[in-house]
Amino acid sequence: MAVAFGWLVSMVYKPAFGTGVVIGYWITNVVGLLLLHKGAERMIKDQTSNVLPGRALLKSVLISLLYTLLILMLVKLHVLQPIVNYLPTGP
């Protein structure tokens, strides 16, 4: 979904593909992780746990940052590109 978001952004302004992918990633995945964290926190509220809720959230955010770095590397290495780069050009 993040790459599709980057493709949409690049249709308006091609150089913004990488930025669009990162923003799309953060919108979809980080918000999703936060929602999952909150849901899990409510489900296990009655159970005792050794992991502090804030620590689990920090771990989720750090993992998201690592994935963001991976996405940026793939964009910089041109593994991920604007969708127009995948389409054949004229005859």
Residue 31 to residue 38: CA distance in whole angstroms: 11
Instruction: Tell me the pTM.
Output: 0.57
Domain definitions of the chain by residue range: 2-82
Which segment of 4-13, 19-28, 43-52, 82-91 scores lowest on mean pLDDT?
43-52
CA 10 to chain centre: 17
What's at 82, amino acid-wise? Answer: P
Place of tokens 């159970």: 47
- Asked if pLDDT for residue 55 goes beyond 60, the answer is yes
What's at 62, amino acid-wise? Answer: L
- Percentage of the chain exceeding pLDDT 90: 15
CA 12 to chain centre: 20
What pLDDT, in 10s, does the model give residues 74-85?
Answer: 989 989 888 878
